[in-house]
Amino acid sequence: MSENGHEHEHGHPHAEPKHETSPWAARIRAVEELLAEKGILTHEEVEAQIEYMEARSYENGARLVARAWTDPGFKELLLRDTKAACSQLGIDASGTVEFVTVENTPATHNLIVCTLCSCYPRAILGRPPDWYKSPAYRSRAVVEPRAVMREFGLEIPEDTSVSVHDSSADVRYLVLPMRPPGTEGMTEDELADLVTRDCLVGTAVPREPARV
């Protein structure tokens, strides 16, 4: 028996964590081995799930936003049926998890958190950032959202309401940020480049492109 209980040297980027020696990594390996031994999961299924997750990133969200900024019909669809909007862009979000997209406006800024664990629209955006899972963010984002956003460098004006969404049940939330001024005439790809991961959580907003 090899170190991992099976031969699995296929050179993917996720091969590295298998050699991690932290207690957490050891525990995960032990759990995986037990699940495989009991016939509940195969190693291949675990690998397939890791590959599924690693194929996703916030760039999917950036594409949704850029299309919504340039196509009012698509924006309407994104806000009404996020799964259908994903499907139109070839993003596979067809699993059992449901999604809702909330729109930032001059009157309302949205911020997403999951206080109970770290629920996140993984099927669209991939894995959440580490800070999203931290007890500090999860507890403070609901109590003092404006202070938390300030620490991210985002000051929300007093005449804009802050809506915090605690996604601790069955629905995962994405923020549709406002299109920044000075972006007229930009292509959809250029617009997508303005949308960072944090813009989709609400701890940032897309910035006006720097003038050359």
Partner 1 sequence: MIRPATAARFRPGDAVRVPNVEKKGHVRTPEYVKGKRGRVTGILGGFPDPESLAYGGAGLPEKPLYRVCFRQTDLWEGYAGPPGDTLHVDIYEHWLEPAIEES
Q: What angle do CA 92, 93, 94 make, to 5 degrees?
A: 95
The single residue of 2, 87, 114, 168 carrying the catalytic annotation is 114
Q: What is the C-alpha to C-alpha distance for residues 1 and 78, in angstroms, rounded to an integer? A: 49
Binding pattern for the stretch 65-104 against partner 1, x by CB under 8 A and - elsewhere: ----------------x-x--------------xxx----
Cβ 15 to partner 1, closest distance in Å? 33
57 is catalytic: no
Q: What is the C-alpha to C-alpha distance for residues 16 and 115, in angstroms, rounded to an integer? A: 31
Cβ 123 to partner 1, closest distance in Å? 14
Of 154-173, which residues contact partner 1 (CB under 8 A)?
Answer: 158-159, 161-171
Cβ 170 to partner 1, closest distance in Å? 5
**Residue 149 near residue 155 (C-beta atoms within 8 A):** yes
**Residue 114 near residue 120 (C-beta atoms within 8 A):** yes
Q: Tell me the two tokens of residue 50.
A: 């890791």
199 is catalytic: no
Of 99-138, which residues contact partner 1 (CB under 8 A)?
Answer: 99-100, 115-116
Q: What is the C-alpha to C-alpha distance for residues 7 and 9, in angstroms, rounded to an integer? A: 6
Cβ 116 to partner 1, closest distance in Å? 6
CB-CB neighbours of 83 under 10 Å: 19
Q: How many residues does the chain have?
A: 212
Question: Which one among 122, 133, 140, 146 touches partner 1, defined by CB under 8 A?
Answer: 146
Tell me the backbone φ, ψ of residue 97, rounded to 5 degrees: -75, 140
The single residue of 22, 87, 119, 139 carrying the catalytic annotation is 119
Q: What is the C-alpha to C-alpha distance for residues 102 and 61, in angstroms, rounded to an integer? A: 13
Q: What is the C-alpha to C-alpha distance for residues 145 and 157, in angstroms, rounded to an integer? A: 13
Q: Tell me the two tokens of residue 22.
A: 């932290």
Cβ 109 to partner 1, closest distance in Å? 10
Nearer to partner 1, 48 or 116 (CB): 116
The single residue of 117, 134, 139, 161 carrying the catalytic annotation is 117
Q: Determine if 179 is a binding residue for partner 1 (CB under 8 A).
A: no
Nearer to partner 1, 63 or 138 (CB): 138
Which residues are catalytically annotated?
114, 117-119
Query: What is the binding site for partner 1 (CB under 8 A)?
Result: 81, 83, 98-100, 115-116, 142-147, 158-159, 161-171
